[in-house]
Structure 1
Amino acid sequence: MGICSSTCKMLRRVKYVFLLLLTLSVLAWFSMFSGGSVKSALAPSAATKAVIKRDSMQDEANSGTSKVVRLITPTPIVECPKESPLLQGAVRLNFEPSLKLKEVEVENNQVTEGRYQPSSCTARQSVAILIPHRSRERHLLYLLYHLHPFLQRQQLHYAVYVIQQAGNATFNRAKLLNVGYLEALKDYRWDCFIFHDVDLVPENDKNLYICDKQPKHLVVGRNATGYKLHYKGYFGGVTAMKREQFRKVNGFANTYWGWGGEDDDLRIRVELQKMKIVRPPADLARYTMVFHKRDSGNEVNKDRMKLLRRTTLVWRKDGLNSCKYQTISVDRLPLYINVTVDIGKP
């Protein structure tokens, strides 16, 4: 009985140890299984990650964080149509004596420092308007009043440069236009240049201020000539040339001091380069010339015919490549860039 009692006790102890080990093993196995399941349940799947990422990006977009810029693809601006829907055709010109510069500025408040570009489309050409000037403030005011809305209706990217000749020396229109070309290119790589007299105002906005494959003469007729071409080879008043075309002919001659001859010289240069002058239809290319007396310091150039006979000999060395001047100031006014220069004397 003592032996049985001792043996029974030992068996019970072994049983208890076995049960304990079995219980510990089950607990350990269960712990491992449930832990992996929890991790698996807590770990997001690839699809869940995508949803979370998308929701996060959407939240950032809605909250206006800096990442919004990267999320939104800007809509490209379309190119302006070949014919602007804003064109009016022939317009009635107004030369009101009481007109003030401030009024013109207010009416053209989208022009900044003489420059404008359409907001609804990308302009087909970038155009620099070059106006040689001295002591013609009233003419300039009338031209700016009509020209800015005229160009805006054509949906152009443009800038107006007024090149002022300082001092009292004889006026040199050609050299001032060379200066305007060189100075404008310091601002922007303009596609097209319009060489524009200050006293000529366009009457029809379908006379497009853009450059063509050939140099273009925009003044077919004006009121002073009964709206007929001044003469067969006339290439003055308002002309349009691409940047490369003007560079190819070496610009204007710098030697024409006083009135006359420089536009015929430019025509000869164009013809020497085998280019052909083109013109818009006569019913579109009409201008009103604001009448005035001949300026003091811009008398008729008596040497113009002698200079014209030498054009074929000197055009390569007299022009843009020999244009020397001193820039006195560049003032970026609301309606135009005013470039004042000393171009020397005859």
Structure 2
Amino acid sequence: MGFCLPGYKTLRRGKYVLLLFVSLSVLAWIATFSGEIVKSAQIFSASPQTLVQADSLRDQLNTETAAPNQIETPTPKAECPKESPLLQGAVKLSFESSLTLKDVESKNKGVTDGEYEPSDCTASQSVAVLIPHRSRERHLLYLLNHLHPFLQRQQLHYAIYVIQQAGDATFNRAKLLNVGYLEALKDYSWECFVFHDVDLVPENDHNLYVCDNQPKHLVVGRNATGYKLRYKGYFGGVTAMTKDQFLQVNGFSNTYWGWGGEDDDLRIRVELQKMKIVRPPADVARYTMVFHKRDSGNEINKDRMRLLGQTPLVWKKDGLNSCTYKTMLLERQPLYVNVTVDIGKP
């Protein structure tokens, strides 16, 4: 028995040592495993921030990449100055017999279908220039030659409408201008209308073709009258009225066939609406009248004084609201819009 005891004790010690070694190994493995869990937990807890950073970086890269391909919004144009820097003042007019329509077109490349708009600023007003016409091609050519650069120097958005009376009936300037107003508004909501005789050419571009808060008379003087106003109440030749002012007076009368009376009728309509006629300074509102003989079919209207006496009674029903006509041709030429109409007979 005593022989066996020492060996037994040795065996027991070996078991304890082995058990201790295994325990230590297990503890070491647990510690290692726990560290990996902690690391994983740390990585997991940081991942939302990492994703946010990645999203921000991606958005930044997308923005930088897309920017060159985006279409930039045009910068709005500034308003044109109240007084155009292009104005020249009084200029010497010339009327060359060799002038052609192609010559005028070549000098006005910025005009398309009779319309022009400044490229570097926004015009203060949009203006429709209405010219009643029949058998005055040479006068029209001279007027277009001077009027286009004149209006461009004023930095206006404008269009020129030439209203031609078809047939050989007595000429009716007033009704043609009513037609021009109605037809022009089909193209654009023009703010201002300038009613312009074909034989009057402006001399000074400080005579602005814009409308005022009152009806405006632009012809204070012409060469044919020594540059003096024809008479105190004169409201003919070239006048400017806003769209609303002209509508308020119901436009021109349609009943003035032949020369004279229709401009005085318009003045009476203006006065009946308690509006006041304004004029530019006399040294600015100067025109050259291109000489011509009285046209056949535009003889003096001998009935004009009787018609003027009826204006206060009939203006509400004789004008824009009773203007009937038939459009024969509407043609957009380079320098103007040609509107040829049948307006009937007296």
Paired residue for 1:30? 36
Query: Could you tell me how far apart the structure 2 residues matched to 1:167 and 1:213 are?
Result: 38
- 1:297 corresponds to 2:301: no
Paired residue for 1:58? 64
Structure 1 41/110 Cα, relative in aligned 2: closer, same or farther at 3 Å?
same
Flag the structure with larger Rg.
2
Cα distance, 1:137 vs structure 2: 1.2
Alignment of 1:112-123 (within 5 A): 112-123=112-123
**SS of structure 2 residue aligned to 1:310:** helix
Cα distance, 1:77 vs structure 2: 2.0
Query: Could you tell me how far apart the structure 1 residues matched to 2:12 and 2:329 are?
Result: 122
Alignment of 1:326-337 (within 5 A): 326-337=326-337
**SS of structure 2 residue aligned to 1:309:** helix
Alignment of 1:130-169 (within 5 A): 130-169=130-169
Query: Could you tell me how far apart the structure 2 residues matched to 1:273 and 1:134 are?
Result: 32
The amino acid across from 2:230 in the alignment is H
Query: Could you tell me how far apart the structure 2 residues matched to 1:149 and 1:172 are?
Result: 29
Structure 1 32/206 Cα, relative in aligned 2: closer, same or farther at 3 Å?
same
Alignment of 1:304-315 (within 5 A): 304-315=304-315
**SS of structure 2 residue aligned to 1:274:** coil
TM-score between the two structures when normalised by the length of structure 2: 0.90
**SS of structure 2 residue aligned to 1:287:** strand
CA deviations over 1:121-156 (Å, ceiling 9, x no partner): 211111110011111111111111100110011111
**SS of structure 2 residue aligned to 1:328:** strand
Decide which moves more: 2-11 or 243-252: 2-11
Structure 1 170/10 Cα, relative in aligned 2: closer, same or farther at 3 Å?
farther
CA deviations over 1:305-343 (Å, ceiling 9, x no partner): 111111111001000010111122221111111111111
Paired residue for 1:213? 213
Structure 1 17/243 Cα, relative in aligned 2: closer, same or farther at 3 Å?
same
Query: Could you tell me how far apart the structure 1 residues matched to 2:295 and 2:16 are?
Result: 136
Paired residue for 1:262? 262
TM-score between the two structures when normalised by the length of structure 1: 0.90
Q: 1:12 aligns with which of 9, 15, 18?
A: 18
Which portions of structure 1, spanning 4 or more consecutive aligned residues, are displaced by more than 4 angstroms? 41-52
- 1:98 corresponds to 2:105: no
Paired residue for 1:125? 125
**SS of structure 1 residue aligned to 2:69:** coil
CA deviations over 1:252-280 (Å, ceiling 9, x no partner): 00011111110011011111111111111
Query: Could you tell me how far apart the structure 1 residues matched to 2:200 and 2:56 are?
Result: 66
Q: Which runs of 5+ in 2 are unaligned?
A: 1-6
CA deviations over 1:183-238 (Å, ceiling 9, x no partner): 11111111110000011100000001011111111011111111111111111100
- 1:231 corresponds to 2:231: yes
CA RMSD of aligned residues (A): 2.4
Paired residue for 1:339? 339
The amino acid across from 1:30 in the alignment is E
Query: Could you tell me how far apart the structure 2 residues matched to 1:304 and 1:25 are?
Result: 119
Query: Could you tell me how far apart the structure 1 residues matched to 2:41 and 2:100 are?
Result: 86
The amino acid across from 2:39 in the alignment is F
**SS of structure 2 residue aligned to 1:170:** coil
Structure 1 28/101 Cα, relative in aligned 2: closer, same or farther at 3 Å?
farther
Q: Which runs of 5+ in 1 are unaligned?
A: none
**SS of structure 1 residue aligned to 2:198:** coil
